[in-house]
Chains A and B, each alone.
Chain A
Amino acid sequence: MTSINEVALKPLLVEKRYFTFAQAPDEMVLDCGSRLGPITLAYETLGELNADRTNAILILHAFSGDSHVAGYLHEGDERPGWWDNMVGPGKPIDTNRYFVICSNILGGCAGSTGPSSINPETGKPYGLAFPMVTIKDMVHAQKHLIEHLGITKLMSLIGGSVGGMQVLRWCADYPEMVISAIPLATTTRHSAQAIAFNEVARQAIMADPDWNNGDYYDGQGPTHGLAVARMIGHVTYLSDEAMREKFGRRLHRSALSFDFTGDFQVESYLHHQGQKFVTRFDANALLFITKAADYFDLERGGHNLLINEALAEVSFLVISFTSDWLYPTYQSRGIVSALKKNGSDVSFCEIEAQCGHDAFLIPNKRLDGLISGFLDRVYHEHCL
């Protein structure tokens, strides 16, 4: 017999799976009008789908995330998934009760079809020949996966940032499949400021000679440009207060160097984040995904797609963070304001947090309590 301690210590193992669809001649028609196929989505699941198939939760990852939301991929794996503090047995998104699904987005570079995938027409990586996919296309692809898993209604959709955009897009496009939704630290449309930072990140990549118009897969690629793009990203994920607390003007060496190798801790932090990123992320994927985020706009043409009678029966928990200046609270309030017009059941909380946009990924008791309390209610009202 295994003791309780042994069970608790045993790492939660998950398996990365792949689902391929949209084979020729049934390619998926994209927002931009192009056709794309075949499409593969990498995904992972945790927990068990119940007999009625009513306990499924789809988690949508943010721009640089992947399908590995929680647990470990193999024995001895030292890095758990990106939201391991939130998802797992006994955790706020409790996999003893819920069936959790997370897939890598279309256009990504962690197992799903994206610009680094092989173009069946040329036998070489797509590069810039990859069509411009949008958040709508990402969600459309996820819908194929959900149907493939035999699920007709999702108990909840949860995601922050670009993941939150996917949550909202799901609600706009497939309201009949949604019971509840938790958009975190997100927006219905990028502000000029958010587009501006994305454009600087893209230019950093495209200005790197090793980018070579996106055709770099036989070499090391634009590592410098990609690292700079990531550094810019990290600035937008923090806040003035968080940076002051974390680094201040502290040096990472004993005295000023009087050269350009970097003296301050904040510089070495950004260099480190940039270097780490180039080992796991594809530069073209960054170009495509940031563009999809910039194009995302649920209020195009003056009509807000969240104002929709079909959403009257959907329950929402909208959450923002006080120091998030990339997706400030007024943007979450805009989401709430639109949903209230439908008569939808909407809860909203602005969490006091000093770590900026990153706050939604950092362990936080308040966030845990909000998500678990909300899911518990939805589960008892709809799934029993």
Chain B
Amino acid sequence: MSTVYNQELGTMRFDLQVIASWIEPGARVLDLGCGNGDLLEYLKKHKQVNGTGIEFSEEKVARCIERGLTVLQGDFRKEVCDYPEGRFDVVVLSQTLQQIRDPKELLIDLLWIGKRVIVSFPNFAHWSARLQILCTGMAPITDQLPYEWYNTPNIRVISIKDFKKFLRILGVRTVKEVAINTHHHDYKGNIVKYLRNLRATYGIMMLERMQ
């Protein structure tokens, strides 16, 4: 469920609330898969951010432009390739990484057009998923991963631990990271400090290229 025409922090998805708090006022932001533009609208109103969104759905793109946001309709995997180096201060990729065919190449492209990249993704190693596999022997279905194996858009199975290993191999620096546990359809949540890979429903990280 997405919210329309609101831009108050508490009514945004919890991972977006965390991401919004990390973005500096006046930053140039690119939001990939921006949906109805809730994050961009919030950042524009409260942080005077110069934002651009990329979204696939014509309906959502139109809604964003009608509310005065800058949004491009298209497949962001292709759209990100036109921008010059360092065009954005921050590129946001929220809850989409698990649906990308070439996550490694994408991350490299994003770190080229953005000085920093914020990624949020569902943690497939959350205890509820582990427990389901162990007890039922079937692919887990949770609030964050509500699909059957045959209709899921999530083609990449990532945990927080996996992603950190991936960053080490890639040579990408983590500027900030947080693990969150969400409830109320992801609109509320709290920060997880201990046993994160077991207890967190999402990981959020801010990345930058090694100097």
Contacts and interface: CB of A to CB of B under 8 A. Distances in A.
Interface of A: 315, 317, 333, 336-337, 340-341, 343, 345-352, 366, 369-370, 372-374, 376-377, 380
Nearest to B84: A341
Contacts of A336: 72, 82
Contacts of A333: 74
Contacts of A380: 68
A316 to B, nearest CB: 9
Given A340-B83, A351-B58, A369-B62, 7 more contacts: A345-B52, A345-B70, A347-B70, A366-B58, A366-B62, A373-B66, A376-B68
Interface of A is mostly: helix
A350 B73 contact: yes
A369 B69 CA distance: 13
A346 B68 contact: no
Given A370-B65, A373-B67, A349 B84 contact: no
A347 B66 CA distance: 11
B80 to A, nearest CB: 10
Contact of B73 (A341, A345, A349, A369): A349
A348 B82 contact: no
B84 A343 contact: yes
Contact of B68 (A337, A343, A366, A377): A377
| Top 5 A-B residue pairs of the complex, sorted by shortest distance between their CB atoms | A373-B66, A377-B68, A340-B82, A369-B66, A348-B72
A336 B70 CA distance: 12
Contacts of B73: 348-350
18 contacts: A315-B70, A337-B82, A340-B82, A341-B82, A343-B87, A346-B72, A347-B72, A348-B61, A348-B71, A348-B72, A349-B58, A349-B61, A349-B73, A352-B58, A369-B66, A370-B65, A373-B65, A376-B68
Contacts of A343: 84, 87
Interface in B86-100: 87
Interface in B45-80: 50, 52, 58, 61-62, 65-74
A345 B62 CA distance: 16
B54 to A, nearest CB: 9
Contacts of B50: 345
Contacts of A374: 65, 68
Interface string B80-121: 001110010000000000000000000000000000000000
Contact of A349 (B52, B62, B87): B62
Contact of A317 (B52, B65, B82, B84): B65
B65 A347 contact: yes
Contacts of B69: 347
Contacts of A370: 62, 65-66
A241 to B, nearest CB: 17
Contacts of B68: 373-374, 376-377, 380
Contacts of A373: 65-68
Interface in B1-58: 50, 52, 58
Contacts of B65: 317, 347, 349, 369-370, 373-374
B74 A346 contact: no
Contacts of A351: 58
Contacts of B71: 347-348
Contacts of A347: 61, 65, 69-72
From A347, A351, A380, residue with most partner B Cβ within 10 Å: A347
Contacts of B52: 345-346
A272 to B, nearest CB: 34
A352 B67 CA distance: 20
A187 B76 CA distance: 22
Contacts of B82: 336-337, 340-341
A351 B71 CA distance: 14
A378 B68 CA distance: 8
Contacts of B70: 315, 345-347
Contacts of B84: 341, 343
Nearest to B83: A340
Nearest to B61: A349
A380 B67 CA distance: 12
A240 B84 CA distance: 39
Contacts of B83: 340-341
A183 to B, nearest CB: 14
A112 to B, nearest CB: 33
B74 to A, nearest CB: 7
Contacts of B58: 349-352, 366
Nearest to A340: B82
Nearest to A333: B74
A366 B62 CA distance: 7
Nearest to B53: A347
